[in-house]
Chains A and B, each alone.
Chain A
Amino acid sequence: MNVFITILKRDLILAIRHRAELLNPMLFFVLVIVLFQLGLRAKPEVLVDFAPAIVWIAALLSALLSLDHMFRSDMEDGALEQMIISTQATSLLVLAKIIAHWIITGLAVTLVGPLLGMMLGLSFDATKILFLTLLIGTPVLSAIGSIGVALTVGLRRGGVILSLLVLPLFVPVLIFASQTVTTYIAGYPIAASISFLIALLVLSLSLAPWATAAALRVSVS
């Protein structure tokens, strides 16, 4: 457990020392949403229908953009090999890195997302639900994404193949999360879909570290 906290601290300190990297995914997230609206020029009442999906797709893309950093610098300076050959369980270290990645990127998106949702015309209550889905859903993106990054970390140009591997796996999160908000706006109960999202969160946080650890062992060996 000590190792878990050490890695978490280390990653967060590294992130704070590179503030640009900390801000970029969030700026990208904002930019995508602005571009959507500029391209759509939709009427406010139509825009509300699109808003949850727009915010969520922007969140997926910004998660994808930042994923590549998760293991790359550790790979380059050899820290990753040390983590794998250490006596600690690799999956625990991976879990720490997933959570660090979420705090660095997902948390910012979760905090900014509702504001942008309001700009897109969501009501205050719907914005609260959007916040809730982002809070539950973005860690799933970091967890599932870590598998894809671990598989492609050895490649010089992993970016394109990474999006090909990871985006199809993001589909359930996108569906459940954006549906939760639209169902809420339509006035139906949302307990079931929130439970589904939580189930995805639990499943991905408990299984993804193992897959990622196995993939890292293959990539680094």
Chain B
Amino acid sequence: MYKWFHQLGSPPTFYRWSGRWLPWLSLICFVLFVIGLYGGLVYAPADYQQSDSFRIMYVHVPAAWMSMFVYMVMAISGAIAIIWHMKLAEIVMLSSAPIGASFTFLALVTGSIWGKPMWGTWWEWGDARLVSELILLFLYIGVIGLYSAIDDKRKAAQSVAILSLVGIINIPIIHYSVIWLNTLHQGPTVTKFDNPSIDTRMLIPLLIMAVAFKLFYGIVLLLRSRNEVLWRERRSQWVKDTLGDKTDG
């Protein structure tokens, strides 16, 4: 196990290994998206309260899940980068930040589009999850901003790793402080519609979409990491060999 981990950490092995997996992952992800979207938009019955407008859930909920998941991946790979100074962990962490920020942004936009017909307003400060999602977006932007501000990229990666670890401790505190704020000030009662236990026909497409989003993240992460690996190792022999083969053939 450790040996495998170690081998994967070396850029050429990672590059070859990820190249082999990418087409398969893309295929599975595409199929899951088609099934999930069909299931969500066509097969699932309309909600008795929200009629068809609930269907945005099939994008909103997985995006929101991913926004947290990606931050977690970032913090864990940040910890690995600090402890073992592993280059690949740095690359995974750095490549994850813009993807996570995009998921967070998507969750915010779809959330506010969903909020308009449901709550009657585009933005609701009373909803704790919406607000803490917004702050999560700022944390992502901070990570990206710090990385681009430091010129020495190895140093920048180490700094970002520390920042993302600090962030992961703060996310629960921020989240619960926002919730606490709102339980104290009893907000307008429309903000929370009671979710009746969800119908299986609605749930299954949601889960499929969640898996599809995870795979999509994996694919984009691999693509970005491969680029980053090539760019960082652009002066080494193996990159010249790999890319040279392609241009010759």
Contacts and interface: CB of A to CB of B under 8 A. Distances in A.
A110 interface: no
B157 to A, nearest CB: 9
A200 interface: yes
B131 to A, nearest CB: 9
A211 B165 contact: yes
Given A179-B184, A218-B155, A211 B166 contact: yes
Interface string A167-197: 1110110011001000100000000000010
Given A164-B141, A168-B142, A171-B135, A151 B173 contact: no
Interface in A141-186: 147, 151-152, 154-155, 157-158, 161, 164-165, 167-169, 171-172, 175-176, 179, 183
A147 B142 CA distance: 13
B42 interface: no
A176 B177 contact: yes
A82 interface: no
Contact of B166 (A155, A157, A158, A169): A169
B143 to A, nearest CB: 9
B72 interface: no
Interface string B144-166: 01100110000100110011011
A215 interface: yes
Interface residues of A, number: 28
Contact of B158 (A161, A207, A218): A218
B138 A215 contact: no
A219 B145 contact: no
A215 B159 contact: yes
Interface in B28-83: 82
B178 interface: yes
Nearest to A173: B177
A66 B166 CA distance: 21
A167 B145 CA distance: 14
A214 B145 contact: no
B162 A211 contact: yes
A157 B135 CA distance: 24
B169 A207 contact: yes
Contacts of A200: 173
B170 A175 contact: no
A4 B142 CA distance: 31
Given A155-B150, A214-B82, A147 B166 contact: yes
A151 B184 contact: no
Contacts of A169: 166-167, 170, 174
Nearest to B151: A155
Given A183-B184, A218-B158, A161 B173 contact: no
A221 interface: yes
A172 B146 contact: no
Given A179-B181, A219-B159, A152 B166 contact: no
Given A175-B178, A200-B173, A214-B82, A168 B159 contact: no
Contact of B173 (A172, A211, A214): A172
A147 B166 CA distance: 9
B180 interface: yes
A168 B138 contact: yes
B177 A164 contact: no
Sorted from nearest, which 3 A-B pairs have the closest CB atoms? A172-B177, A168-B138, A218-B158
Given A161-B145, A172-B173, A214-B82, 19 more contacts: A151-B162, A151-B163, A152-B146, A155-B149, A155-B150, A157-B149, A161-B149, A164-B138, A165-B145, A167-B138, A168-B142, A175-B178, A176-B180, A183-B184, A207-B169, A215-B159, A215-B162, A218-B162, A221-B155
